[in-house]
Amino acid sequence: MREAWRSWAFVKGQPAEAEMLKLLELTLRRIQLSPEVCHTKEAKAANLEGTTFNLVPCLFHLVAQLQRSKRHFAVIFRSFGIDHQKIHAEWNSFCELKHPVFSKLIEDLGPMDGTVPGIPDRRIHSMHTLYRDEQGPLLILDTCTNGPEDNSWDAWVRAKQKPTTDTREGRKFCQELCVETVDGLGKFQEWMQAHLHKQATGSIKDDWAWWQFHGETAQAGKLLTLFGSQQEFQQIFFDDNVELNNARIVDCRDPDGNAIPHSESVGKLCCKVNPVEAMLDTNYFLCKLLASQGDPLNVGPSLTTMRKQMQAVEEEKLQVQKQLSDVEEQKLSLQTQLDGMRLQLIGAVDEIRRTKLQNTIDINEEAWFCLRCLF
C-alpha cells in the first residue's frame, strides 16, 4: 500500500495514469504563485523565493475560519527536519497582513500580531527541539539542534552498524548548551497547556533519530500528550505519514502517559493528510477537524471537489485550445489581407511611376513644339 502511494509503477500504461497526470497538473497549478506575485518584494519578505507556496492554502483558510468564529486555539508546527525557517516568514507575514495572497482572508478582522484587542499574537517567535530517551521527553526551549555538529543524533542512527543502545547522551549535550528545558511528560503537558492558554503559535523539531531507533513505531514518534478530556479541550495532529489504521508517526498519550490505541487515536486525535487533496481543497483541514468531532456531513468532500476542479481544468484547456485555434485563423486571415494590401501598394506605386513618366513625355513634346514655332 505504501509503495502505491509513492510510485506510479502499478498504473503505468493504464487509464488511471492519464487521470493521475491530470490531477498532478492541477495540483501543481494550485501551489504556483501567480506571475503578479512571484518575485515581488512582498513575496520575498514572506520567504516565497521560488514560484510556489511553503504552506498549503487550506491552513490559512482553517485559521481564518477559527479566528472569525472567535475560537480559542493554538498552533504548533511539528517536523523531524530543520525546515521550519521556510515557513516562519510566510506564516508571520500572514499574521501581520503582509502575505501577498492570503492576508486578505483576515483583512476585515485585523492583524494577528497582538495589536488588535481580542486577537492574540499568533506569530511564531521561537523554535524548540524535543529530545527523547528512556527517561522521557526533554523539550529544549528556543533552540533548534540535532546534537553535536561532529556527531549528530541523526548520524548516530544512520550508522552502518545499527546501534543497539542509545549512546547519544543528549541530556549532557543540553546541559553544555546552558539552555532552558522542560523535562518529563508532566512538565511537557503543562507547557503545552500554557501554550494553548496563550493562543500562541510555535514550532518543534522532533526526534527523528529516536523514531528510527525504534523502527518507526508510533510510540517513539512525535509526542502528542493529552492534558484534559476531549470535551474540555480538543487536540488534533495533522500529518501525511499517519496511516488509515495506524498513527505510525504520532505518539498519542493520555493524561497519565499511557499509549492510546490506534483505534481510538486515528481520525480523532491524529488525522492522515493526503497532500494532493490538501492542496486542492481550501476547506480540507476544516473538514478534517469537523470529521474528528463526529460530523459525518463533512467527511470526504475533497474528492468531489477535485473531480469538479479536474473537469473545470479540462473545460478550460479546451477553451484555451479553441482560443488558440481562433487566433491562428485570425493570424492567417490578417496575413492574407496584408499580402493583398502589399500587392495593392505595389500596383499603386507602379501606376504613380507610369503617370510621372507620361507627364514627363507630354511636357517634352510640348517644349519641342514651342521650339519649332520659334524658328
The residue to which cell 484534559 is assigned: 228
Average pLDDT over residues 172-179: 96
3-state class (DSSP) for residue 139: strand
The residue to which cell 510556489 is assigned: 52
- Which stretch of 40-49, 162-171, 327-336 has the lowest confidence by average pLDDT? 327-336
Amino acid 299: pLDDT: 40
- Give the C-alpha separation, 209 to 216, whole Å: 9
C-alpha cell of residue 347: 500596383
Contact 317, 296 (CB under 8 A): no
Closest Cα partner for 265 from 233, 240, 242, 241?
Answer: 242
Amino acid 18: pLDDT: 85
289 has a pLDDT exceeding 60: yes
Cα distances from 29 to residues 221, 276, 284, 359, in angstroms, run: 33, 12, 17, 69
Amino acid 257: pLDDT: 95
Q: Who has greater pLDDT, 288 or 351?
A: 288
Cα distances from 287 to residues 53, 241, 271, 298, 357, in angstroms, run: 21, 19, 11, 5, 86
Asked whether the whole model's pTM tops 0.85, one would answer no
276 has a pLDDT exceeding 60: yes
Q: What letter does residue 356 receive in the DSSP assignment?
A: H
Amino acid 298: pLDDT: 44
- Which stretch of 33-37, 206-210, 267-271, 308-312 has the lowest confidence by average pLDDT? 308-312
3-state class (DSSP) for residue 73: coil
Per-residue pLDDT tens digits for 338-353: 888 888 888 777 777 7
3-state class (DSSP) for residue 22: helix
Q: Where are the alpha helices (DSSP H) in the chain?
A: 2-6, 15-30, 41-45, 57-68, 84-95, 153-158, 170-177, 185-197, 208-213, 262-265, 275-280, 284-292, 301-374
C-alpha cell of residue 264: 481510538
Per-residue pLDDT tens digits for 34-66: 999 999 999 999 999 999 999 999 999 999 999
Amino acid 247: pLDDT: 97
Average pLDDT over residues 123-143: 98
Amino acid 360: pLDDT: 59
- Give the C-alpha separation, 39 to 33, whole Å: 9
C-alpha cell of residue 244: 488509515
Average pLDDT over residues 189-199: 96
- Which stretch of 181-190, 210-219, 281-290 has the lowest confidence by average pLDDT? 281-290
Average pLDDT, the chain: 87
Closest Cα partner for 92 from 118, 113, 73, 71?
Answer: 113
Per-residue pLDDT tens digits for 87-99: 999 999 999 999 9
Containing 125, the helix (H) or strand (E) segment is strand 124-133
233 has a pLDDT exceeding 70: yes
Closest Cα partner for 46 from 55, 56, 34?
Answer: 55
State which of 228-237, 254-263, 289-298 shows the largest mean pLDDT: 254-263
pLDDT band at 371 (very low <50, low <70, confident <90, very high): very low
Contact 178, 104 (CB under 8 A): no
Contact 194, 233 (CB under 8 A): no
Cα-atom radius of gyration of the chain, to the nearest Å? 34
- Which stretch of 90-104, 249-263, 283-297 has the lowest confidence by average pLDDT? 283-297
Q: 18-42: string of b/e by CB count within 10 Å (b at 16+)?
A: eeeeebeebbeebbebeeebeeeee
Q: Of how many residues is the chain composed?
A: 375
